[in-house]
């Protein structure tokens, strides 16, 4: 499997590197570590100043790459470092394409750009535009933990959820990793304000209850298949069905189990202002842990 780790030398990038260094990378895996020198500006026609700054950035970039590579001294994977120049998110996507990356690993914030929600602008653009899965690492995932990793996989049986399952299946997580698969059932009346609930007659309530029971049965059958799919890939595989709004239920479950990572699929619809799908965007922005986003091809 080919991994691309993007780093800018920030604490968030360090956290991403340390989190990835705990994976069970093996011979045959490839890790490309990338640092992008931002395009300097504001010098007008002063080539001398531009050149001086570029040389400083180049030296710093080489130090950042050397430091990051040091976190993988014991890995069995082949490791290479790359120093690019340009617009960070564009160069990250270009490097992923050139190196046939199966997954991009990146910190949740960085030194560049204006933050959007809880993500840095570069991270957000990479998550939106990357055709391959993106693992966004949030502190404190950079801190090495002595207990097994805990992963929460959210599924609804859709094609994008299946793609997320495939990505999770291929990820070189430690053999001791514990997996919980969650299915969140919604409610047709969930958006009705409580003060108007009295207007709903008993017949409608019975219909809703029957729908909920039917969806719960579908959820349990799906989770049973998912449990069989991941059997042998993780130290343990648990399943849970929750009711409520999808994104908050996933985030709350991650908090309750002290998850290290959430895996979720995304429709890949860019929509207004280049956003991800509603659920995946909220999970990525507000999750207390790292998030693996997998999209369907456009």
Residues of the chain scoring pLDDT < 70:
39-49, 110-119, 140-145, 187-211, 268-276, 297-298
Q: What domain count does the chain have? A: 2
Mark whether 298 and 152 lie in a shared domain. yes
Mark whether 110 and 51 lie in a shared domain. yes
Mark whether 196 and 218 lie in a shared domain. yes
pLDDT in tens, 148-172: 999 999 999 989 999 999 999 999 9
Mark whether 118 and 196 lie in a shared domain. no
Mark whether 179 and 91 lie in a shared domain. no
What's the CA gap between 73 and 33, in Å, rounded? Answer: 13
Q: What is the CATH number of the domain that holds 21?
A: 3.40.50.620
Residue appearing with tokens 């999209």: 295
Q: How far is CA 105 from the centre of its chain?
A: 8
Determine the structural domain holding residue 273 and report its residue range. 145-298
Structure tokens at 152: 């929460």
Give the residue from 121, 144, 167 where a domain finishes: 144
Tell which residue, 237, 244, 180, has the closest CA to residue 216.
244
Q: How far is CA 249 from the centre of its chain?
A: 17
Mark whether 124 and 153 lie in a shared domain. no
What's the CA gap between 25 and 29, in Å, rounded? Answer: 6
Count of CB atoms within 10 A of residue 48's CB?
9
Mark whether 157 and 231 lie in a shared domain. yes
Mark whether 118 and 167 lie in a shared domain. no
Mark whether 131 and 114 lie in a shared domain. yes
Q: How far is CA 222 from the centre of its chain?
A: 23
Q: How far apart are the first and last CA of the chain?
A: 22
Give the residue from 107, 125, 144 where a domain finishes: 144
What pLDDT is attached to residue 274?
40
Tell which residue, 281, 278, 231, 289, has the closest CA to residue 256.
289
Alpha carbon of 281 to those of 4, 117, 161, 181, 298: distances in Å? 22, 10, 15, 19, 17
Determine contact, residues 136/127, Cβ cutoff 8 Å.
yes
Give the residue from 144, 159, 186 where a domain finishes: 144
Angle 278-286/246-256 helices, nearest 10 degrees? 30
What's the CA gap between 217 and 145, in Å, rounded? Answer: 36
What pLDDT is attached to residue 178?
96
Mark whether 6 and 136 lie in a shared domain. yes
Percent helix, percent strand, percent coil in the chain, to nearest 5: 40, 25, 35
Alpha carbon of 94 to those of 1, 13, 40, 71, 293: distances in Å? 18, 19, 20, 24, 19
Mark whether 139 and 256 lie in a shared domain. no
Mark whether 175 and 265 lie in a shared domain. yes
Q: What string of DSSP letters covers 59-111?
A: HHHHHHHHHHHHTTTT--SEEEEEEEEE-HHHHHHHHHHHTT-SEEEEES--S
Count of CB atoms within 10 A of residue 70's CB?
10
Alpha carbon of 47 to those of 40, 59, 256: distances in Å? 11, 18, 55
Residue appearing with tokens 């490839």: 30
What pLDDT is attached to residue 66?
97
């Amino acid at each position: 499997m080919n991994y691309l780790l993007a780093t800018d030398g920030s604490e968030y990038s360090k956290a991403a590197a340390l989190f990835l260094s705990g994976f069970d990378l093996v011979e045959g895996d490839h890790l490309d570590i990338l640092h992008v020198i931002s395009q300097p500006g504001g010098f007008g026609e002063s080539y001398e100043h531009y050149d001086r700054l570029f040389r400083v950035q180049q030296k710093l970039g080489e130090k950042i790459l050397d430091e990051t590579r040091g976190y993988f001294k014991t890995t069995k994977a082949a490791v290479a470092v790359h120093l690019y120049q340009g617009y960070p998110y564009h160069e990250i996507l270009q490097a992923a394409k050139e190196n046939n990356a199966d997954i991009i690993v990146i910190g949740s914030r960085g030194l560049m750009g204006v933050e959007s929600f809880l993500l840095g602008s570069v991270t957000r653009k990479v998550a939106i535009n990357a055709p391959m899965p993106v693992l966004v690492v949030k502190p404190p995932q950079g801190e090495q933990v002595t207990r097994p990793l805990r992963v929460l996989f959210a599924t609804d049986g859709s094609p994008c959820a299946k793609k997320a399952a495939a990505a999770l299946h291929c990820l070189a997580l430690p053999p001791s990793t514990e997996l919980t698969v969650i299915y969140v059932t919604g409610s047709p009346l969930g958006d009705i304000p409580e003060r108007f609930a009295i207007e709903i007659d008993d017949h409608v309530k019975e219909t809703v209850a029957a729908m909920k029971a039917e969806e719960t049965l579908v959820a349990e059958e799906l989770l049973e298949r998912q449990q069989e799919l991941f059997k042998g890939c993780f130290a343990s595989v648990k399943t849970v069905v929750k009711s409520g709004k999808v994104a908050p239920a996933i985030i709350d479950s991650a908090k309750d189990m002290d998850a290290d990572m959430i895996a979720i699929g995304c429709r890949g619809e860019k929509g207004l202002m280049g956003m991800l799908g509603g659920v995946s965007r909220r999970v990525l922005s507000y999750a207390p842990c790292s998030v693996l986003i997998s999209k369907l091809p456009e």
